[in-house]
């Protein structure tokens, strides 16, 4: 076992799945010779050839739409959307086509596709490169939505996603691609899609988060711990399917819930979690549920993004308010 970054773990997951199943192929913009703009597919074309690691024309709807056709005729395409902000170009092929195929055909067809895409803020990108758009996909029945927060989870979840018989939107926090190295097994392994990870057990308050914000929330919880405040941190890993039991068990124990996500607040996935907790554990709560999220503006310019994102100051302030409630 070696220490790997998330981007290395993602690359390794694809390489190993392509190795063991010749029907796994990669397609997208710049994924071939260039190895992807973040090097996620680095070396794959050299190893597996141009028929299995395909530089497509620059067209997101074309990438996902042809992936649907490829998937019904025997392949397991891994389609890359270069940045998640470009996904609007292919929303029909994702939400109206891939997502609904099993249902539309009463089970005759299905689309085993993985749609990988980098997302998330704090990287000083141009416009529409940093948006967190997971709510678009959780609102599309038929799609699974996976959002890993570290290298180990990314590899196991991506292998599960490639083997999954349903379309999986696999969102990779670009800020974390190379931020942290951690032990990642060299061999292939899977993690169940829909099982949350309790990153830190605690008894005073629960923070539910996913993807890009998990390391920040974990760090904040450790700082609170030095002051004797024991926060439980749940990394959802996947939003669809949602691990409701882990959330409810935690809230029943701590009685206080903070939800942290980078996506805009209005109709964000935090609202869904809040509703689910209200429906199932209202009387376990000792205080209102709090959300710390991106604000309800378009994702702002780089000189503003640090104030816009759920940063350490915003999260800490809200946690303190809730603890004092």
Partner 1 sequence: MYDESTLVKEKFQLLDENGQFDDSKGYDFDDDLLVKMYKWMVKMRSFDVRLLKMQRQGRIGTYAPFSGQEAAQIGSAVALDLKDWIFPSYREIAACVTHGLPMKQVLLYVKGHFEGGEIPKELNIFPIQIIIAAQALHATGCAWASKLKGEKQVSVSYFGDGATSEGDFHEALNFASVHKVPTIFFCQNNQWAISVPLKKQTVSSTIAQKAIAYGMKGVRVDGNDVLAVYQVMKEAVARARNGEGPTLIEAVTYRQGPHTTADDPTKYREEKEVENWINVKDPITRFRQFLEKKNLWTVSQEEALQKTCNEEIDQAIQEAEEEPLIPTYAAFDYVYAEGNTLLQEQKEEVQRNGQRREDV
Binding site for partner 1 (CB under 8 A): 25, 51, 54, 56-57, 59, 61-62, 65-75, 92-93, 96-97, 101-110, 141-142, 144, 164-166, 194, 240-242, 244-245
Cβ-based nearer residue to partner 1, 106 or 324:
106
Cβ-based nearer residue to partner 1, 192 or 288:
192
In whole angstroms, the minimum distance from the beta carbon of 11 to partner 1 comes to 22
Phi (first) and psi of residue 259, to 5 degrees: -115, 130
Cβ-based nearer residue to partner 1, 194 or 300:
194
In whole angstroms, the minimum distance from the beta carbon of 255 to partner 1 comes to 22
Cβ-based nearer residue to partner 1, 55 or 230:
55
Q: Which of 323, 262, 253 has the alpha carbon at shortest distance from 291?
A: 262
- DSSP code for 28: E
Residue 93: CB atoms within 10 Å: 23
* Residue 110 appears among annotated catalytic residues: no
DSSP of 117-167: EEE-SSS---TTSS---HHHHHTSTT-EEE---SHHHHHHHHHHHHH-SS-
In whole angstroms, the minimum distance from the beta carbon of 66 to partner 1 comes to 3
Which residue among the candidates 129, 139, 227, 261 is catalytic per the annotation? 129
In whole angstroms, the minimum distance from the beta carbon of 250 to partner 1 comes to 16
Distance CA 222, CA 44 (A): 39
Distance CA 103, CA 297 (A): 35
In whole angstroms, the minimum distance from the beta carbon of 25 to partner 1 comes to 8
Cβ-based nearer residue to partner 1, 130 or 274:
274
Query: Which residue in this structure is represented by tokens 């195929």?
Result: 101
Q: What are 90's two structure tokens? A: 């292919």
Phi (first) and psi of residue 186, to 5 degrees: -75, -30
Which residues are marked as active site?
Answer: 129
């Amino acid at each position: 076992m070696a220490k790997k970054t998330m981007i290395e773990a993602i690359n390794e997951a694809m390489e190993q799945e392509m190795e063991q199943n010749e029907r796994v192929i990669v397609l997208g913009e710049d994924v071939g010779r260039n190895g992807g703009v973040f090097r996620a597919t680095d070396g794959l074309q050299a190893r597996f050839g141009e028929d299995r690691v395909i530089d497509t024309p620059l067209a997101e709807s074309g990438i996902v739409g042809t992936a649907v056709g490829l998937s019904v005729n025997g392949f397991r395409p891994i389609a890359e959307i270069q940045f998640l902000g470009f996904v609007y170009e292919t929303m029909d092929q994702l939400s109206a086509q891939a997502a609904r195929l099993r249902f539309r055909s009463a089970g005759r067809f299905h689309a085993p596709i993985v749609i990988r895409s980098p997302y998330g803020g704090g990287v000083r990108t141009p416009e529409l490169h940093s948006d967190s758009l997971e709510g678009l996909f959780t609102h599309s029945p038929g799609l699974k939505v996976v959002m890993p927060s570290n290298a180990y989870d990314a590899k196991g979840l991506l292998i599960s996603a490639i083997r999954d018989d349903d379309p999986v939107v696999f969102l990779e926090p670009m800020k974390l691609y190379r931020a942290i190295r951690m032990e990642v097994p060299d061999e292939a392994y899977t993690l169940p899609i829909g099982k949350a990870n309790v990153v830190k057990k605690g008894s005073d308050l629960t923070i539910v988060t996913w993807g890009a914000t998990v390391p920040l929330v974990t760090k904040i919880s450790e700082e609170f711990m030095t002051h004797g405040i024991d926060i439980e941190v749940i990394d959802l890993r996947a939003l669809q399917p949602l691990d409701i039991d882990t959330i409810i068990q935690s809230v029943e124990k701590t009685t206080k819930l903070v939800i942290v996500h980078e996506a805009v607040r209005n109709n964000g996935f935090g609202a869904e979690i809040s509703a689910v907790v209200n429906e199932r554990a209202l009387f376990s709560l000792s205080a209102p549920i709090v959300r710390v999220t991106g604000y309800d503006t378009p994702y702002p310019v780089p000189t503003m993004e640090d104030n816009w994102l759920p940063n350490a100051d915003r999260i800490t302030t809200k946690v303190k308010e809730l603890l004092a409630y």
